[in-house]
A and B are shown apart, each in its own frame.
Chain A
Amino acid sequence: MSFESSTRLRVRLLSPAARRAARERVLTVLEATGRPSTGRALDDLALAFASFDRAELWLALAVLHGELPAASELRRVRRIAELDGPWAALQRTLTVAATGGVYPSVRVVGSGTTLLDVTGLDSSNTETQGRAIARSLASEWVTAEGVLPVTWTANRKALRALTAEEAAELGYPTPSVSASEILVPHDAAYVLVGTVDKPRSSEGLIALGQSSRNATASIGFGLGRLIGAEAYRRQEGEERFSWHVAAQRSFNTLVVVGDGIMEHYRGWERMLPAVGFEGPKLVDIPVTPAADGVMSLDDWRAISHSVGSAIGIYVGQ
């Protein structure tokens, strides 16, 4: 049986709900990549698969799977397409998409929007100076036009908007986007202001930085958890922080916010050639604690604006 026949058969064997969801996602891919839609969704997608560039393939997998793909899956699908054609790649993609059994709707978030990843900024985590600054920055920015605070789904594979409760806890307005939708940025901006130290999420971000058509930036509050791990108790999982830093490695910009921690990243930058990466552009925004430990509102706003400008949140302002 040809890959085309077996792919069509697999689609026919899907439950009606799964088939509807798959069709919806296929149409989303075609629309987001500007490919023609003739009404024969599967054929249109197969045709599109044959000509997808790297970023379009990333987008297609993100939408069809409803999760940010890892680099290994992107590679696998690209190789299947190259060796056995678009129908084989499509078969692989649809098989993976069907494994979850649930099909939340997927929304492609496009140009003009910044997804602000606030994972880990809630009160369930130990308070640190870096987290306090991150929370303040995020609070400042979510009121800016086009900034959408996001976090990860329970399986750590996809981005979603915050629930009303999560937003309230962080002091943000009630989100306009449903938390039940999967969000896939394309030609948008992704800014990591929180901490993503779960391996699967980090793998998704590594591929997003390497393969998608999004601008990517993050805030660096120091590498103490890596380079001073002996000061942490082992159960705090300091080694997982290396996943957060690995994700930052593939971003465009890393804004270092703090007092005297730029050296952490200069050292890290010196290690990157061994892995074959240039690393992100480093921008230093020193934040020196005021003598009384309290920063004036004006000073704080200025820092927030500097950081926001460096990562593209305040474009043209």
Chain B
Amino acid sequence: MATSLTSKKPHELLAAQADRMDVATAYFGLPLAEGADPLDRTIASLDSLVARVYETRDNGELWLLLTTLSGAFPYDRDVETALRFRDEHDPIAFTDWVISASAISPSASGSSTLPMRIVDSVPVIDVSSCAINDRQTGIQRVERETLPLWARDHDLELVAWARRDGSYRSLGEKERRRVVAWGTHKDVPADHVDAPLELLVPFRTAVVLPEVPNHDQSGRLRAMARHSGNAVTAIGYDMIPMMSPELMPREMGADFLEYLGVIKYTSAVAGISQSATNEFRGFFTAVANEHPADTTVVAVELPTAVPEKELAVARDNSGELIVLCVGSHEPRKNHGTVLHAAEKLWREGLDFQLWFFGGGGWGTDFDDLVTKLKRKGRKVELRKAVSDSVLWDAYRRASFTVFPSLHEGFGLPIAEALAFGTPAITTNYGSTREIAERGGCIMVDPRSDDEVHAAMRQLLTEPVIRERLATEARAIPLRSWDEYASELWKVLVDDVV
């Protein structure tokens, strides 16, 4: 008779829990429980582990015990309850509480059946989003450039959240390639069989967050950062969801605010620009009274993400004037201002093409405006999904780029354009100002239609200015991904463990 999954599952869960207890017991050098019955083994291991945790008073060991029991990282409230029982009750009462907590796992997402491995000798890098999907926007690009270099130079463990977000797990081959060998992940044969996945538990090591976790993950990461003894560190991209709700899809800020609850307890945050770093420093100033932190917040500025071989190809902008605008079509990118300025310039009799490269978008009448302009015969080109090579080619052909974003953590399109020697018009504050101050740019108030119009007019009509800015742009020293990866490793790993 076939055994149904539901009748088999409790046994599997108990066996997995007993196996995890064995791993933790062995990790602490305690005698392993004997016997075949998983419940007996768990109870036997529990005795020695609980006794140790009670005796050492090490919060990290308590966090590890809770993770081991449930198969999921505990939340703050789980750890705080456990701490209270440990600190306010005798060993017997504490043991009773741990046993009851193990019967009802501290989290609904616990009780994984994956075999557990404790990772304590190498840093753990959370690459969940980058590993499981093919999106290639700003954060994923940073990860896919940096992590192959880290993997080349250091031992590390790449992890993703398990399906129900309770704990970290190892990656499959396709997922791993998405992170460290982008582009080759599609080559993984359909019949490829991954090694069995493992539940990975970082312990007394660095845990690096190069992406922003979701609400539930943040709840667990906060407890990890506070109690586990791991040094949790993060790349700080920006504070847009908190500071500029009108520039975000509505009600999208909850995950980010929960993430700030993790940031509060991190050991280090590496801002991607000085502006982004100041935003995170501002956050730590704001919470200083309630939460005096010793988090290191430093700027590790992003490099210019252009392969050298692409930069070696000469610019070819001898033909018609082309204005390039790169980015998704959302209120923050301010493309309506560019369209308005362009239409005024066309009406003034100037002849040029306007190219928008970038997919997606929300919350603007951009598509309607473009349709209307095209109907009038204006030379507007819209490319929603472009490969890197097409984008590089566009930078080479563009007379200049316009990037009047209202809030940026960095401003990659500006840095990329300048790397190709293409002049740029950009925002006169924040991270884009930092980039523009090195040369090659005209800075404008992005909220001023007149300033954007005047700057575009100047670059369309004054080739001498264009050439001067192009010369300035070519003289800007380029920062490499190697430099970035190396500095980032020092701040987020070496300096914290």
Contact of A267 among B76, B246, B285, B347 (CB under 8 A): B285
Q: How far is the CB of B106 from chain A (nearest CB, A)?
A: 17
Binary CB contact string for chain A from 269 to 300 against chain B (1 if under 8 A, 0 otherwise): 11111111000000000000000000000000
Q: How far is the CB of B314 from chain A (nearest CB, A)?
A: 36
Give residues of chain B (225-254) contacting chain A, Cβ–Cβ below 8 Å: 238-239, 241-246, 250-254
Contact of B340 among A79, A203, A275 (CB under 8 A): A79
The residues of A that contact B352 with a CB separation of less than 8 Å are none
Q: A314 in the interface, Cβ–Cβ < 8 Å?
A: no
Does B215 contact A269, Cβ atoms closer than 8 Å?
no
Does B244 contact A275, Cβ atoms closer than 8 Å?
yes
The residues of A that contact B365 with a CB separation of less than 8 Å are 76
Does B254 contact A272, Cβ atoms closer than 8 Å?
no
Contact of B241 among A228, A242, A260, A276 (CB under 8 A): A242
Docked CA distance A234–B254 (Å) = 7
Does B242 contact A79, Cβ atoms closer than 8 Å?
no
Q: Main SS of the interface on chain B?
A: helix
Does B279 contact A276, Cβ atoms closer than 8 Å?
no
Give residues of chain A (224-267) contacting chain B, Cβ–Cβ below 8 Å: 224, 226-230, 234, 238-240, 242-243, 246, 260-261, 263-267
Q: A268 in the interface, Cβ–Cβ < 8 Å?
A: yes
**Max chain B CB contacts within 10 Å: which of A260, A270, A274?**
A274
Does B245 contact A246, Cβ atoms closer than 8 Å?
yes
Does A270 contact B254, Cβ atoms closer than 8 Å?
no
Q: B116 in the interface, Cβ–Cβ < 8 Å?
A: no
Chain B residue, CB-CB nearest to A276 = B429
Does B287 contact A267, Cβ atoms closer than 8 Å?
yes
Q: How far is the CB of A284 from chain B (nearest CB, A)?
A: 13
Does B289 contact A260, Cβ atoms closer than 8 Å?
yes
Q: How far is the CB of B261 from chain A (nearest CB, A)?
A: 3
**Max chain B CB contacts within 10 Å: which of A78, A199, A271?**
A271
Contact of A266 among B279, B286, B344, B347 (CB under 8 A): B286
Contact of A274 among B261, B276, B290 (CB under 8 A): B276
Does B290 contact A228, Cβ atoms closer than 8 Å?
yes
Does B430 contact A274, Cβ atoms closer than 8 Å?
yes
Does B257 contact A203, Cβ atoms closer than 8 Å?
no
Q: How far is the CB of B431 from chain A (nearest CB, A)?
A: 7
Does A227 contact B243, Cβ atoms closer than 8 Å?
no
The residues of B that contact A226 with a CB separation of less than 8 Å are 242, 257, 260
Contact of A83 among B252, B286, B347 (CB under 8 A): B347
Does A234 contact B215, Cβ atoms closer than 8 Å?
yes
Q: B278 in the interface, Cβ–Cβ < 8 Å?
A: yes
Contact of B283 among A75, A246, A271, A276 (CB under 8 A): A271
The residues of A that contact B344 with a CB separation of less than 8 Å are 82-83
Q: Number of A-B pairs whose CB atoms are under 8 Å?
A: 138
**Max chain A CB contacts within 10 Å: which of B215, B281, B284, B289?**
B289
Q: A208 in the interface, Cβ–Cβ < 8 Å?
A: no
Q: A159 in the interface, Cβ–Cβ < 8 Å?
A: no
Known: A246-B245, A275-B406. A267 touches B429 (CB 8 A): no
Docked CA distance A199–B287 (Å) = 25
Q: B222 in the interface, Cβ–Cβ < 8 Å?
A: yes
Docked CA distance A83–B372 (Å) = 13
Q: B336 in the interface, Cβ–Cβ < 8 Å?
A: yes
Q: A206 in the interface, Cβ–Cβ < 8 Å?
A: yes
Docked CA distance A230–B219 (Å) = 8
Binary CB contact string for chain A from 31 to 57 against chain B (1 if under 8 A, 0 otherwise): 000000000000000000000000000
Give residues of chain A (81-134) contacting chain B, Cβ–Cβ below 8 Å: 82-83
Q: How far is the CB of A66 from chain B (nearest CB, A)?
A: 22
Q: How far is the CB of B372 from chain A (nearest CB, A)?
A: 11
Chain B residue, CB-CB nearest to A266 = B285
Known: A243-B245, A267-B284, A268-B286. A274 touches B278 (CB 8 A): yes
Does A263 contact B286, Cβ atoms closer than 8 Å?
yes
Contact of A271 among B246, B278, B287, B340 (CB under 8 A): B278
Does B406 contact A227, Cβ atoms closer than 8 Å?
no
Contact of B286 among A75, A206, A267 (CB under 8 A): A267
Q: B10 in the interface, Cβ–Cβ < 8 Å?
A: no
Q: B51 in the interface, Cβ–Cβ < 8 Å?
A: no
Known: A238-B257, A239-B257. A271 touches B243 (CB 8 A): yes
The residues of A that contact B37 with a CB separation of less than 8 Å are none
Docked CA distance A275–B244 (Å) = 8
Known: A83-B344, A226-B257, A273-B275. A263 touches B243 (CB 8 A): no
Q: B374 in the interface, Cβ–Cβ < 8 Å?
A: no
Docked CA distance A35–B427 (Å) = 36
Known: A202-B246, A234-B215, A274-B407. A239 touches B430 (CB 8 A): no
The residues of B that contact A76 with a CB separation of less than 8 Å are 365
Contact of A230 among B222, B246, B252, B343 (CB under 8 A): B222
Q: How far is the CB of B361 from chain A (nearest CB, A)?
A: 14
Does B215 contact A276, Cβ atoms closer than 8 Å?
no
Does A242 contact B286, Cβ atoms closer than 8 Å?
no
**Max chain A CB contacts within 10 Å: which of B241, B286, B287?**
B286
Does B244 contact A246, Cβ atoms closer than 8 Å?
yes
Q: B449 in the interface, Cβ–Cβ < 8 Å?
A: yes
Docked CA distance A176–B289 (Å) = 44
The residues of B that contact A179 with a CB separation of less than 8 Å are none
Q: A223 in the interface, Cβ–Cβ < 8 Å?
A: yes
Does B446 contact A267, Cβ atoms closer than 8 Å?
no
Does B446 contact A275, Cβ atoms closer than 8 Å?
no
Contact of A270 among B76, B219, B260, B278 (CB under 8 A): B278
Contact of B251 among A203, A229, A240, A271 (CB under 8 A): A240
Does A263 contact B289, Cβ atoms closer than 8 Å?
yes
Does B246 contact A203, Cβ atoms closer than 8 Å?
yes
Q: A317 in the interface, Cβ–Cβ < 8 Å?
A: no
Docked CA distance A263–B429 (Å) = 24
Does B431 contact A274, Cβ atoms closer than 8 Å?
yes
Docked CA distance A297–B451 (Å) = 54
Docked CA distance A266–B285 (Å) = 7
Given contacts A227-B286, A266-B286, A274-B279, 8 further A-B contacts (CB under 8 A): A202-B245, A226-B257, A229-B258, A230-B258, A234-B254, A238-B254, A270-B278, A270-B281
Give 17 A-B contacts (CB < 8 Å), ordered by A residue.
A72-B331, A199-B246, A227-B287, A229-B254, A230-B219, A234-B258, A238-B254, A246-B244, A263-B288, A267-B285, A267-B288, A268-B282, A270-B278, A270-B279, A274-B243, A274-B275, A276-B446
Q: Give the 5 A-B CB pairs with smallest separation, nearest first.
A: A267-B286, A230-B261, A270-B282, A267-B285, A229-B257
